[in-house]
Amino acid sequence: MTDHREESHEAFTSNLPQPGGIAGALMPVAGFGVTLRNFFRPTVTEQYPTTPANVQPRYHGRHQLNRYADGLEKCIGCELCAWACPADAIYVEGDSNTPDAQFSPGERYGRVYQINYLRCIFCGLCIEACPTRALTMTNEFEMAGPTREGLIYEKHDLLAPMEEGMLAAPHPMAPGTTDTEYYTGDVLRTTPEQEAWVRAHRPDDETLPENQPVREGHIPHSEQSGPGTPTPLGAKRFINGTGGGI
């Protein structure tokens, strides 16, 4: 038994080249060379969460319901996103636009829009299904919360913030346009008629030019979301939906 053990106990010999001289002398600390080299290279380690996470531009993060340039919603409540969803995370109810309450161009708008982020797997099939590009995904991924209800995002949580030239829906479509002009991008901002309509119906609306705080150059739109709409977790941290971070 002992014989057998001694037999298998041979001395280790490396088959790598065995340098001699200085190189041979430094062999035991050669591994530190990598460390030393990286002292002089750019840092790739991210100090998340003390600094923002650096995600890829097309990262599948939280959804956003976009608006046309005059502030009308792009969502038509067609439920194709809900149909495409493999996790049954999206719930939509459509309704008719009326002359008194035009939320989106055309006949139909999404009255109820919910995404359950406890179910969502961020696969992006919903945004592929969207026929009006109303639904896109942002880079926002910090979604956690203490309640189930809090992770079911409602339409007002998901709607894109107002940008310059936009007026909060509902308001009529730009005069002389149909949903086709909106879809082809020919509506560039609100018209005086639309402003007049909102002024007549909701004089206190925050998005009217006279009710807005004084602008200094381009201010990120995150400041313009109304006080009535609860800001979702981390909403300030995605801007334009292009490459995230603060």
Partner 1 sequence: MSTSADQTPATTDLVTVTIDGIETHVEQGTLIIRAAEQIGIEIPRFCDHPLLKPAGACRQCLVDVASPGPDGNLRAFPKPQASCTMPVTEGMVVNTQNTSEEAERAQKGVMELLLINHPLDCPVCDKGGECPLQNQAMSHGRGESRFVDVKRVFEKPLALSSEILLDRERCILCQRCTRFSQEIAGDAFIDLQNRGAMQQIGTFNEDVLGFDGYGPVGAAAEDETGNAFSSYYSGNTIQICPVGALTSASYRFRSRPFDLVSSPGISEHDSSGSAIRTDHRRGKILRRLADNDPVVNEEWVTDKDRFAFAWQNLADRITQPLVRKDGELVEASWPEALAAAAAGLTAAIGKTGTPADKKAKGVGVLPGGRVTLEDAYAYAKFARLVLDTNDVDARTRWSSDEEQAFLGASVAGTGLGVTFAELEKAPTVLLVGFEPEDEGGVVFLRLKKSAGRQKVFTVASHLSRGPEKLGATLLPAVPGHEASVVASLKGAKAAYKDLRAPGSIIVVGERAAASPGTLTAVEALAKRAKARVAWIPRRAGERGAVEAGALPGLLPGGRDAAVTAARNAVAKAWGASSLPNTKGRDADAIIAAASAKALDALVIGGVDDSDLTEDLLKAITNAKFTVSLEVRRTAVADAADVVLPVAPPSEKSGTFVNWEGRLRAFGTAIHTDAMSDHRVLDLLARQLGTDLGTATVDAINAELASLGAAATSHRPKAPAEPTPAAPKKSGGTDGELVLATWHQLVDEGALQDGEPYLAGTGRMAVARVSPATAEALGLHGVITVTAKRRGAIDVPVAVTEGMVDNVVWLPTKSPGSWVAQQLGVQPGDTVVVKGAAS
| Interface residues toward partner 1, by CB under 8 A | 76-80, 82-83, 93-96, 106-108, 131-132
The minimum distance between CB 73 and partner 1, in angstroms, equals 13
Q: Are 180 and 132 in contact (CB under 8 A)?
A: no
Strand partners, 91: 114
Residue 145, φ and ψ in degrees, nearest 5: -170, 165
Measured from the CB atom, is 134 or 158 closer to partner 1?
134
Sheet holding 108-116, edge to edge: 90-96, 108-116, 152-153
Query: Which of 100, 68, 82, 49 minimizes the C-alpha distance to 178?
Result: 68
Provide the token pair at 124: 């992006």
- Residue whose entry in the numeric block shows the structure tokens 């639904």: 135
Measured from the CB atom, is 76 or 158 closer to partner 1?
76
Q: Are 241 and 222 in contact (CB under 8 A)?
A: no
Measured from the CB atom, is 128 or 223 closer to partner 1?
128
The minimum distance between CB 92 and partner 1, in angstroms, equals 9
The minimum distance between CB 229 and partner 1, in angstroms, equals 24
The minimum distance between CB 80 and partner 1, in angstroms, equals 6
Measured from the CB atom, is 19 or 131 closer to partner 1?
131
Considering only CA atoms, give the Rg of the chain.
28
Provide the token pair at 19: 């340098």
Measured from the CB atom, is 131 or 226 closer to partner 1?
131
Q: Please provide the size of the chain in residues.
A: 246
The minimum distance between CB 226 and partner 1, in angstroms, equals 26
